[in-house]
Homo-oligomer: A and B are copies of this chain.
Amino acid sequence: MNHIISPLDLSVEELDKLLDLANDIERNPEKYAHACEGKRLASLFYEPSTRTRLSFEAAMMNLGGKVLGFSDGGSSSATKGESVSDTIRVVSCYADIAAIRHPKEGAALVASMASQIPVINAGDGGHQHPTQTLTDLLTIRSLKGRLDNLTIGLCGDLKFGRTVHSLIDALARYENVNFILISPEELRVPGYIRDGVLQKTNVSYREVVRLEDALAELDLLYMTRVQKERFFNEEDYIRMKDFYILDEAKMKLASPDMLVLHPLPRVNEIAVEVDKDPRAAYFKQAQYGVYVRMALILTLLEIA
């Protein structure tokens, strides 16, 4: 049984194969339109996440499959005290594959151990969100043509932002990747990323405070939202949330082929005026998110 719990569950070779499949889906969607006919995806969202949920559901539908599930833990048996293990055991009777989103770290792993169908971690607390990382990798590889030899700016909340941590993990496996970590002092990458990943691998990195000090060098700028729910108090949130806003003026400092990515939803960290800049790739990224999830479902269900 194959599951995807962490972005690193796939080797570089497996990842290459997955991204190749996603690109083939992008070019020939009709070839895959019936690949999952008669298959059912269980979409188990213990906390709301419309974007991720709809992306999974669109992916399964594009493959000709069906979707069942819940979009909110409040309307699940969890409120009757059922364990995630029991839920997935029962859902194994209803579906062929499951995507699970849960507020608790490790929930997807626990589910995968009890499951009789493949489990995809669709986010477990501040921990892992592998399909976001796969989306990011597919977007970068598709639009830049490579995953190595890149200078990448990561900007915003680098302390709590799990998408950033996973992306660092994933890109650190490629040659000549350089990170510029752009954040306020209070939201710097945590020690376990700095020591555990950045200093153990062959990537180079630099930390800066001002977005303007990094822009000119970047092949790619990955913006992140300052997530209100990660803060301990309202005041800290308000003081910092507008710290890093990408606008047209800042975009002029960047290279003409620098890509802007964002996991979305954004609040105001990218001004709407940037949307029409051809370097803005965050809506394309949402589309790649569907292709990569289609590829992942096919791979885990072992459908060639």
Contact = CB atoms under 8 A, between A and B. Distances in A.
Interface string A52-89: 00110110010000111111101111111110011101
A79 to B, nearest CB: 7
B33 A58 contact: no
A48 B74 contact: yes
Given A50-B76, A90-B283, A93-B283, A33 B38 contact: yes
Interface string A218-240: 00000001011000000000000
A111 to B, nearest CB: 14
A126 to B, nearest CB: 15
B82 A75 contact: no
A267 interface: yes
Give the size category of A's interface with B: 35 or more
Given A75-B71, A94-B290, A58 B40 contact: yes
B54 A42 contact: yes
A95 interface: yes
A91 interface: yes
Contacts of A55: 93-94
Given A50-B77, A81-B228, A82-B264, 7 more contacts: A51-B90, A72-B74, A81-B265, A81-B267, A86-B264, A93-B283, A93-B287
